[in-house]
């Protein structure tokens, strides 16, 4: 090949290479592309938070279905799942704790008592509190049960997984709604 | 008449019984000098009152710690005393110095050491804790291989050295070259981490004294380490406890002896400056 042609092809190749890989380094440009990628790769269901002056809530079910309150109760007492009793007390469980102290006993006192919680909050607000309580109370100790973003140094087995999946959130919510 | 006599006797018996029963429950009562509490040395400490982990332990655990013969950690301290005098032998068969060769009587030379670490090391240009200082001496002056972190030998020697400071108030230096490392330790303390997204402060600053399930949260002080934990059924270092705490919030822990943990150790010892060294403490 003639020298000029070689040179021209080399420059063309270089520019193609640069433009092909540019989206990777672009922080803001090609936004549609990166958002579409994120939507495909994120394992969490999308949900909408309604933020008014008086309240903040997720009015719609995460799965589109209603949850099962009995399953919700089991998730609340199970240490490897919700482990809610680590911090919260449910007065109805105190009777059960006498027969089954290992599962229902020794309830924690870090968070508020859950009795009557369905009278204090709307279902949508409760759903938001379960999904990410920090949206309500930024300084809270309560973990976000349906979030995987902006978490620091998550341990291997728990990476990219929320504490509870979407249906489990709905199940816990269904149980909480029985606490009037 | 008889009724009066009978009721009088009954009252005497009941009061004796009550006195006898309550006397046998030996609890450290408030103000009896065994509560292990202190006022922070530094006014900038966010804690108004310092309570050692001893304060949150059950009465049986407290009693175990106070008795040198009952305290399981003291077995490690005795091993440490032997290691203090032992001279490591090289492959060529040459005997090298022991700790005692340079430091003589540990009750004098090591009296303040346990209450001052971690310190800034100008050669390594970072903070080092007591375990790392012992290994520095071993490699540099005793010409012996360093002990593995959390090995029985290193735990025993560290517990022995820190035990020489028993009762001395913790006081670490955080100014001068130590300052940037102190700030790093402080940043670590308050950073949310893990899937459960919690920082040390959420339990140990905001909720100490409350129950999380059946565990009573303490202030997370370091003055009793290396500590005999009933859960471990053995003596363990502060960094081992850090790893456990990280795992409990589902965060990836750091390695034993990591810079992050040494900086956090410095910060924690500042938070506990004023509390007395209790090594080897007994905790749950």
| Same domain, residue pair A70 and A145 | yes
What architecture is the B32-283 domain classified under in CATH?
Answer: Orthogonal Bundle (1.10)
* Per-residue model confidence (pLDDT) at position A32: 41
Taking an 8 Å cut-off on Cβ atoms, the answer to whether A151 and B194 are in contact is yes
Nearest to A154 among B191, B195, B212 (CB): B195
Domain spans of chain B? Answer: 32-283
The mean of the pLDDT values for chain A is 87
Q: How far apart are CA A49 and CA A56, in angstroms?
A: 7
Reported ipTM: the value is: 0.80
Are A49 and A99 contained in the same domain? Answer: yes
Residue A87 domain boundaries: 42-176
Which residue from A108, A154, A155 is facing B213, i.e. has the nearest CB? A108
- Which residues from chain B sit within 8 angstroms of residue A144, using beta carbons? 197
Our count of domains for chain A comes to 2
Q: Which residue of A has its CA nearest to B214?
A: A106
Residue-level pLDDT at A23: 52
Q: What is the CATH number of the domain that holds A122?
A: 1.10.760.10
Give A3 to chain B, closest Cα distance, Å: 56
Tell me whether residues A87 and B206 touch, CB distance under 8 A. no
pLDDT in tens, B3-57: 878 887 787 777 666 655 544 444 444 334 456 688 999 999 999 999 999 999 9
Per-residue tokens: B252: 């990836």
What percentage of chain A carries pLDDT values higher than 70?
85
Are residues A25 and A111 both part of a single domain?
Answer: no
How far is the alpha carbon of A160 from chain B, nearest alpha carbon, in Å?
Answer: 9
Q: Are residues A26 and A4 in the same domain?
A: yes
Minimum mean pLDDT among B37-41, B77-81, B126-130: which range? B37-41
The pLDDT of residue A16: 73
Q: Is residue A39 pLDDT above 50, yes or no?
A: no
Question: Which pLDDT does position A163 carry in this prediction?
Answer: 97
A163: which chain B residues are within 8 Å (Cβ-Cβ)?
195-196
**How many angstroms separate the most distant Cα atoms in chain A?**
92
Residues A81, A155: one domain? yes
Same domain for A150 and A105:
yes
Query: Does B207 touch chain A if contact means CB atoms closer than 8 Å?
Result: yes
Answer whether B211 sits within 8 Å of A109, measured CB to CB: yes
Same domain, yes or no, for A100 and A29? Answer: no
Interface touch B250/A154, C-beta < 8 Å: yes
Q: Structure pTM?
A: 0.82
């Amino acid at each position: 090949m003639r020298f000029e042609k070689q040179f021209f092809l080399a420059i063309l190749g270089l520019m193609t290479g640069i433009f092909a890989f540019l989206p990777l380094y672009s922080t803001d440009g090609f936004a549609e592309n990166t958002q579409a990628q994120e939507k495909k790769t994120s394992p969490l269901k999308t949900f909408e938070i309604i933020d008014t002056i008086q309240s903040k809530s997720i009015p719609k079910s995460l799965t589109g279905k209603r949850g099962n309150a009995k399953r919700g109760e089991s998730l609340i007492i199970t240490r490897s799942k919700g482990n809610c009793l680590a911090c919260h007390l449910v007065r109805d469980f105190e009777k059960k704790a006498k027969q089954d102290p290992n599962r229902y006993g020794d309830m924690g006192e870090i968070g508020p008592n859950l009795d009557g919680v369905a009278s204090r909050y709307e279902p949508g607000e409760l759903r938001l509190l379960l999904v990410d309580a920090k949206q309500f109370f930024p300084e809270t100790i309560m973990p976000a049960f349906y979030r995987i973003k902006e978490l620091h140094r998550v341990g291997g087995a728990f990476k990219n997984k929320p504490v509870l999946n979407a249906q489990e959130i709905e199940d816990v919510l269904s149980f909480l709604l029985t606490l009037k | 008449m008889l009724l009066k006599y009978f009721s009088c006797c009954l009252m005497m018996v009941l009061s004796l019984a009550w006195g006898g029963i309550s006397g046998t429950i030996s609890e450290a009562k408030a103000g009896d000098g065994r509560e292990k509490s202190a006022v922070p040395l530094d006014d900038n400490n966010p804690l108004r009152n310092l309570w050692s982990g001893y304060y949150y332990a059950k009465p049986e655990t407290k009693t175990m710690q106070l008795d040198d013969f009952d305290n399981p950690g003291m077995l490690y301290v005795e091993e440490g005393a032997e290691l203090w005098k032992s001279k490591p032998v090289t492959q060529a068969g040459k005997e090298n110095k022991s700790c005692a060769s340079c430091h003589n009587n540990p009750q004098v030379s090591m009296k303040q050491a346990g209450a001052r670490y971690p310190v800034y090391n100008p050669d390594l240009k970072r903070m080092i804790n007591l375990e790392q200082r012992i290994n520095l001496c071993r490699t540099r002056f005793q010409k012996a291989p360093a002990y593995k972190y959390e090995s029985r030998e290193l735990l025993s020697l560290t517990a022995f050295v820190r035990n020489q400071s028993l009762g001395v108030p913790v006081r670490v230096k955080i100014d001068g070259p130590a300052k940037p490392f102190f700030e790093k330790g402080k940043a670590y303390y308050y950073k949310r981490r893990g899937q459960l997204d919690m920082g040390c402060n959420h339990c140990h600053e905001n909720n100490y004294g409350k129950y999380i399930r059946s565990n009573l949260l303490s202030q997370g002080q370091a003055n009793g380490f290396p500590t005999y934990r009933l859960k471990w059924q053995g003596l363990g270092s502060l960094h081992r406890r850090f790893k456990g705490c990280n795992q409990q919030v589902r965060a990836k822990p750091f390695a034993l002896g990591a810079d992050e943990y040494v900086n956090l150790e410095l910060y924690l010892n500042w938070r506990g400056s004023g509390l007395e060294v209790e090594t080897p403490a007994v905790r749950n």
